């Protein structure tokens, strides 16, 4: 038999299947979707088997050396999705396949076959002796045995597991784990012999009466607040047993989620969900845009749609922006669907991600909640994909393949014939326009669940505050309202908009700003290290004590960090209890959740934070939201900056007054007249939409025009400019008259890491030839890109224009 293999050499010449002979010994092993090692020129490299056929038209084929998997890592539908992805994003097929898999399946991890003790008796005799004195063997050893096909059968049955370990961390990964050595009956009997005084032992026994599985010793002692000695004692008495183990690294394991029942839907929710249920029942593809104001009960619609899918024996994916993948959100899914849910997000280690992925692949879970790349979850019988906060730009991947999760979801929905739900209180202009044209089906939830009005919003002009002598970062109106909340024991969320805004170091006398020597951008001041850093190239330096330009010593940092706000708060409201949430306070694992828990329990009056508190919070006692700096994003060189400002302000405001107590919002700004701030204050999406659409039409931007951005960079300015010029000329000759080709122009950040950057922006309505022309450009320069420092990036539908 012959295997068609896509090899791991990302280049134009190798971006097609190569034929390899499957050696006799591997004929029963090799399947489509597995990774294999093949000879390629003088080297041995990895590849994906994407087809198997009886004959090849070519002679003198080489043989596959060995398989890297015993079960396929890509299904045939994912392979075809990968092929589509590579076409759409102009990337190589190998990059597309790799983007769909967890990082643990890449080279620097090593592979083992593991047989849990209880499975050993289930293995055939030959394999039993192989695992006689060990619970796992290395993959390299396994290959030598000649039993690959036998091993494969046991892997398929689930008796043998394949695990990946980071090579240099192997020792750390194995940890001491504990489980009960007795049956529940015997545990109870043993417990009855314990004295009343042995409370700790009672706790341990109770734990194992309820949990019949391994738990790491450290987790057990932490959960029960006991010492190691208590456990060791019970191990000695053979009530418990211990073992060095690899356990599913489930970050939510051993956590109790309160079970929730479906709520009785309101009429509005029912009307929204009916067509969704109908398409699910009919296995019909359709894209729904669920446009519901903040707190209108969208999540309940998601949950009950998923429930419908599960009842039919199908699976569902719910995408959530990374930043909104809060413990609260996870609770809502785990609470409803229990351990049928896997969670995938960037906070997990590579091993944890692989474990969650494997649960999906082995059919052990039915629902995935996750960030962008969870759209590739390897379900085989999908019935629904939901994209919550569909307007979020984090759904776009900025590296190759530069895909957008929304496009991938819709493609999967077409392939598998199932509906897609895009949900948002502030839909992207693109999606709303499509809904208006009837490409998507619009479903609306115009009212809040509590039937309360949306919170009242006050816009405060900070220039006025200055004029009237208030130099503090809190307007008098916000300060007054803060005081009232503290008296009434209600809670406040204070939001500092950091995006597009950073603390920089400037001389007050001559205006000199400290820039990065390698990039054309100012250095960012980091308060806790007293350092300045470049966010693009990593350059670091001390803050100068005198201005390099004018020798004045009035050189200091500008801008407002959360720490500074916290200090100010303590000065003006000494009695206020503040929880600060930012990159610094949430860097430790689990701290995000701990801080939110404390706030929820009422241990603080004010939650102060950045983007990470803008979404998803649903706490009854929040009655005030303050936005300290509403306009920082407005001045970015990005045609979406008004849209992003509107969306963010609407989202933050939506945190107030979601339950019984009515809410209030204060927005502080230096541009109070800007329409995106005015209309966010009125929560008037429809008018914002009309207004912004007019502007986009005038400027020929999305959604009226498609956009593709080509960025060229090189160490030599002239070279970057020259190549961009040639590309622009070539494209102009290939495009129709209705297209606009803007270039070559210097990028908004003209130099990063000593590389000069030029760009060409294409705006177009319909250019069937464009894809082909872009490929031609990439092909043309491929040689130069691999052998010199020239870089060319093509971004179809870009979200970052810098």
Ligand X SMILES: Nc1ncnc2c1ncn2[C@@H]1O[C@H](COP(=O)(O)OP(=O)(O)OP(=O)(O)O)[C@@H](O)[C@H]1O
Residues near ligand X, by CB under 6 A: 263-266, 269, 292, 294-300, 425, 449, 616, 618, 654, 658
SS (H, E, C) 765-786: CCCCCHHHHHHHHHHHHHHHHH
Q: How far is the CB of 599 from ligand X (least distance, A)?
A: 16
- By a kind-dependent CB cut-off of 5 to 8 A, residue 297 interacts, out of ligand X, Zn ion, none, with ligand X
Q: How far is the CB of 422 from ligand X (least distance, A)?
A: 13
- By a kind-dependent CB cut-off of 5 to 8 A, residue 184 interacts, out of Zn ion, ligand X, none, with none
φ/ψ (deg, to 5) at 192: -70, -15
Can you list the positions of beta strands (E) in 283-353? 287-292, 315-319, 341-344
Q: Rule CB under 5 A: is residue 802 a binding residue for Zn ion? A: no
**8 Å CB contact between 550 and 507:** yes
Can you list the positions of beta strands (E) in 284-391? 287-292, 315-319, 341-344, 367-370, 382-387
Could you tell me which of 526, 784, 493, 536 has the C-alpha nearest to residue 663?
493
Q: Rule CB under 5 A: is residue 786 a binding residue for Zn ion? A: no
Pick between residue 298 and residue 755 the one whose CB is nearest to ligand X: 298
Residue 380 CB-density burial (10 A; 0-12 exposed, 13-18 middle, 19+ buried): middle
Pick between residue 416 and residue 427 the one whose CB is nearest to ligand X: 427
Q: Is 325 helix (H, G, I), strand (E, B) or coil?
A: coil
Q: How far is the CB of 304 from ligand X (least distance, A)?
A: 9
**8 Å CB contact between 178 and 241:** yes
Q: How far is the CB of 501 from Zn ion (least distance, A)?
A: 18
Pick between residue 23 and residue 620 the one whose CB is nearest to ligand X: 620
Pick between residue 295 and residue 798 the one whose CB is nearest to ligand X: 295
If phi over 0 gives left and psi between -120 and 50 gives alpha, with beta otherwise, what is residue 666? beta
**8 Å CB contact between 371 and 394:** yes
Of 537, 573, 661, 745, the residue at the interface with Zn ion (CB under 5 A) is 537
Pick between residue 400 and residue 650 the one whose CB is nearest to ligand X: 650
Please list, in sequence order, all residues whose beta carbon lies within 8 angstroms of the beta carbon of residue 16, skipping any fewer than 6 positions away. 6
- By a kind-dependent CB cut-off of 5 to 8 A, residue 731 interacts, out of ligand X, Zn ion, none, with none
Q: Which two tokens stand for residue 112?
A: 């083992």
Region binding Zn ion by CB under 5 A among candidate stretches 2-10, 540-548, 637-645, 791-799: 540-548
* 418-443: burial string, b at 16+ Cβ within 10 Å, e else: bbbbbbbbbbbbbbbbbbeeeebbbb
CA–CA separation, 162 and 71 (whole Å) = 9
- By a kind-dependent CB cut-off of 5 to 8 A, residue 449 interacts, out of ligand X, Zn ion, none, with ligand X
Pick between residue 104 and residue 516 the one whose CB is nearest to Zn ion: 516
- By a kind-dependent CB cut-off of 5 to 8 A, residue 755 interacts, out of ligand X, Zn ion, none, with none
The owner of tokens 């350092």 is 531
Q: What count of Cα atoms within 13 Å lies in the side-chain half-sphere of residue 360?
A: 30
Terminus-to-terminus CA distance in the chain, angstroms? 50
Pick between residue 183 and residue 754 the one whose CB is nearest to Zn ion: 754
Q: Which two tokens stand for residue 608?
A: 């102060």
Query: Which DSSP letter does residue 651 get?
Result: H
Please list, in sequence order, all residues whose beta carbon lies within 8 angstroms of the beta carbon of residue 431, skipping any fewer than 6 positions away. 289, 390, 391, 406, 422, 424, 440
Q: Rule CB under 5 A: is residue 539 a binding residue for Zn ion? A: yes
Q: Rule CB under 5 A: is residue 567 a binding residue for Zn ion? A: no
Q: How far is the CB of 293 from ligand X (least distance, A)?
A: 7
CA–CA separation, 209 and 219 (whole Å) = 17
CA–CA separation, 256 and 271 (whole Å) = 33
Site string for Zn ion, 493-522 (x = CB under 5 A): --------------x-xx-x---x-xx---
Could you tell me which of 253, 255, 250, 252 has the C-alpha nearest to residue 352?
250
- By a kind-dependent CB cut-off of 5 to 8 A, residue 507 interacts, out of ligand X, Zn ion, none, with Zn ion
Q: Which two tokens stand for residue 336?
A: 């409803």
- By a kind-dependent CB cut-off of 5 to 8 A, residue 516 interacts, out of Zn ion, ligand X, none, with Zn ion
CA–CA separation, 283 and 419 (whole Å) = 8
Q: Rule CB under 5 A: is residue 536 a binding residue for Zn ion? A: yes
Pick between residue 300 and residue 315 the one whose CB is nearest to ligand X: 300
- By a kind-dependent CB cut-off of 5 to 8 A, residue 196 interacts, out of Zn ion, ligand X, none, with none
Q: How far is the CB of 277 from ligand X (least distance, A)?
A: 15
* C-alpha dihedral, 345 to 348 to 350 to 354, nearest 10°: -60
- By a kind-dependent CB cut-off of 5 to 8 A, residue 512 interacts, out of ligand X, Zn ion, none, with Zn ion
Of 183, 212, 529, 552, the residue at the interface with Zn ion (CB under 5 A) is 552
Q: Which residue ranges make up the annotated binding site? A: 507, 510, 516, 519, 534, 537, 547, 550
Q: How far is the CB of 618 from ligand X (least distance, A)?
A: 5
Q: Rule CB under 5 A: is residue 675 a binding residue for Zn ion? A: no
Q: Which two tokens stand for residue 264?
A: 């009785």
Q: How far is the CB of 508 from Zn ion (least distance, A)?
A: 8
Residue 254 CB-density burial (10 A; 0-12 exposed, 13-18 middle, 19+ buried): middle
Pick between residue 472 and residue 754 the one whose CB is nearest to Zn ion: 754
Q: With both helix axes pointing from N to C terminus, report the angle between 641-653 and 685-699 in degrees, rounded to the nearest 10.
A: 170
Q: How far is the CB of 376 from ligand X (least distance, A)?
A: 25
For Zn ion (CB under 5 A), the number of binding residues is 15
Pick between residue 265 and residue 802 the one whose CB is nearest to ligand X: 265
**8 Å CB contact between 631 and 625:** no
Pick between residue 134 and residue 552 the one whose CB is nearest to Zn ion: 552
For 693-726, give the DSSP string. HHHHHHHT-TTTSEEEEEEEEESSHHHHHHHHHH
Q: Which two tokens stand for residue 279?
A: 């398409």
Q: How far is the CB of 327 from ligand X (least distance, A)?
A: 14
Q: How far is the CB of 623 from ligand X (least distance, A)?
A: 15
Q: How far is the CB of 9 from ligand X (least distance, A)?
A: 45
Q: Rule CB under 5 A: is residue 595 a binding residue for Zn ion? A: no
- By a kind-dependent CB cut-off of 5 to 8 A, residue 269 interacts, out of Zn ion, ligand X, none, with ligand X
Q: How far is the CB of 266 from ligand X (least distance, A)?
A: 5
Q: Which residue ranges make up the annotated binding site for Zn(2+)? A: 507, 510, 516, 519, 534, 537, 547, 550
Pick between residue 658 and residue 719 the one whose CB is nearest to ligand X: 658
Q: How far is the CB of 515 from Zn ion (least distance, A)?
A: 9
* 464-490: burial string, b at 16+ Cβ within 10 Å, e else: ebeeeeeeebbbeebbebbeebbeeeb
- By a kind-dependent CB cut-off of 5 to 8 A, residue 296 interacts, out of Zn ion, ligand X, none, with ligand X
Pick between residue 507 and residue 614 the one whose CB is nearest to Zn ion: 507
- By a kind-dependent CB cut-off of 5 to 8 A, residue 669 interacts, out of Zn ion, ligand X, none, with none
Q: Rule CB under 5 A: is residue 550 a binding residue for Zn ion? A: yes
- Could you list the residues that contact Zn ion (CB under 5 A)? 507, 509-510, 512, 516, 518-519, 534, 536-537, 539, 547, 549-550, 552
């Amino acid at each position: 038999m012959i295997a068609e293999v896509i090899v791991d050499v990302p280049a134009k010449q190798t971006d097609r299947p190569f034929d390899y002979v499957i050696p006799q010994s591997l004929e029963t092993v090799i399947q489509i979707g597995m990774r294999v090692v093949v000879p390629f020129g003088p080297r041995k490299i990895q590849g994906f088997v994407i087809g198997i056929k009886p004959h090849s038209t070519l002679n003198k084929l080489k043989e596959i050396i060995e398989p890297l998997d015993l079960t396929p890592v890509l299904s045939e539908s994912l392979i075809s999705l990968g092929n589509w992805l590579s076409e759409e994003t102009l990337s190589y097929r190998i990059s597309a396949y790799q983007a769909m898999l967890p990082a643990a399946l890449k080279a620097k991890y090593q592979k083992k076959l593991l047989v849990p003790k209880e499975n050993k008796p289930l293995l055939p005799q030959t394999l039993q002796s192989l695992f006689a004195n060990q619970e796992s063997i290395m993959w390299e050893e396994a290959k030598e045995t000649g039993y690959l096909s036998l091993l494969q059968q046991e892997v398929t049955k689930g008796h043998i597991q394949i695990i990946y370990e980071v090579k240099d961390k192997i020792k750390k990964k194995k940890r001491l784990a504990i489980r009960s050595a007795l049956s529940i009956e015997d545990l109870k009997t043993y417990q009855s012999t314990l004295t009343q005084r042995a409370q700790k032992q009672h706790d341990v026994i109770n734990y194992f009466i309820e949990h019949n599985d391994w738990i790491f010793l450290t987790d057990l002692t932490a959960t029960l607040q006991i010492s190691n000695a208590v456990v060791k004692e019970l191990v000695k008495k053979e009530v418990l047993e211990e073992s060095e183990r690899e356990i599913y690294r489930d970050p939510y394991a051993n956590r109790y989620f309160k079970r929730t029942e479906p709520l009785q839907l309101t009429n509005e929710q029912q009307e929204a969900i009916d067509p969704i249920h109908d398409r699910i029942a009919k296995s019909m593809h359709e894209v729904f845009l669920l446009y519901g104001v903040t707190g209108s009960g969208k999540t309940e619609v998601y949950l009950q749609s998923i429930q419908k899918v599960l009842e039919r024996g199908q699976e569902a994916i719910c995408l959530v922006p990374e930043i909104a993948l809060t413990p609260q959100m996870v609770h809502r899914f785990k609470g409803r669907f229990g351990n049928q849910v896997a969670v995938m997000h960037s906070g997990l280690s590579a091993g944890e991600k692989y474990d969650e992925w494997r649960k999906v692949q082995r059919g052990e879970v039915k629902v995935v909640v996750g960030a962008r790349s969870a759209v590739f979850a390897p379900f085989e019988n999908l019935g629904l994909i939901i994209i919550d906060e569909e307007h979020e730009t984090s759904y776009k991947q900025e590296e190759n393949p530069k895909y957008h999760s929304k496009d991938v979801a819709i493609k999967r929905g077409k392939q598998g014939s199932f509906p897609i739900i895009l949900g948002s209180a502030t839909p992207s202009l693109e999606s709303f326009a499509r809904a208006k044209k009837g490409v998507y089906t619009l479903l609306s939830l115009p009212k809040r669940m509590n039937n309360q009005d949306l919170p009242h919003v006050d816009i405060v002009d900070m220039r006025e505050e200055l004029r009237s002598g208030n130099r503090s970062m809190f307007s008098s109106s916000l300060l007054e309202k803060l005081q009232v909340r503290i008296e009434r024991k209600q809670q406040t969320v204070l939001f500092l908009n950091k995006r597009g805004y950073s603390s920089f170091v400037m001389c007050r006398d001559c205006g000199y700003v400290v820039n990065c020597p390698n990039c054309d951008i100012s250095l960012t001041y980091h308060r806790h290290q007293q350092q300045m850093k470049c966010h693009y190239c990593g350059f670091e330096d001390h803050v100068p004590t005198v201005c390099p330009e004018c020798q004045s010593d009035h050189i200091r940092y500008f801008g407002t960090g959360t720490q500074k706000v916290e200090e100010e708060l303590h000065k003006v409201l000494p009695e206020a209890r503040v929880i600060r949430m930012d990159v610094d306070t949430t860097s430790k694992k689990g701290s995000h959740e701990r801080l939110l828990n404390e706030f929820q329990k009422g241990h603080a009056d004010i939650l102060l934070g950045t983007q990470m508190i803008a979404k998803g919070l649903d706490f009854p006692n929040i009655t005030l939201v303050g936005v300290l700096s509403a306009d920082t994003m407005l001045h970015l060189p990005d045609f979406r900056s008004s849209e992003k400002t509107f969306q963010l302000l609407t989202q933050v405001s939506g945190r107030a007054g979601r339950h019984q107590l009515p809410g209030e919002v204060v927005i502080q700004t230096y541009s109070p007249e800007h329409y995106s701030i005015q209309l966010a204050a009125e929560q008037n999406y429809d008018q914002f939409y009309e207004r912004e659409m007019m502007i986009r039409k005038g400027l020929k931007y999305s959604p009226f025009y498609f956009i593709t951005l080509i960025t060229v960079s090189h160490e030599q300015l002239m070279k970057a400019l020259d190549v961009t010029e040639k590309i622009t000329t070539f494209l102009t000759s290939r495009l129709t008259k209705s297209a606009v080709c803007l270039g070559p122009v210097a990028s908004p950040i003209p130099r990063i890491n000593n590389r000069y950057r030029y760009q060409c922006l294409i705006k177009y309505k319909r250019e069937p030839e464009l894809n082909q022309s872009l490929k031609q450009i990439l092909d043309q320069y491929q040689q130069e890109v691999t052998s010199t420092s020239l870089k060319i990036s093509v971004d179809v539908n870009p979200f970052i224009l810098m």
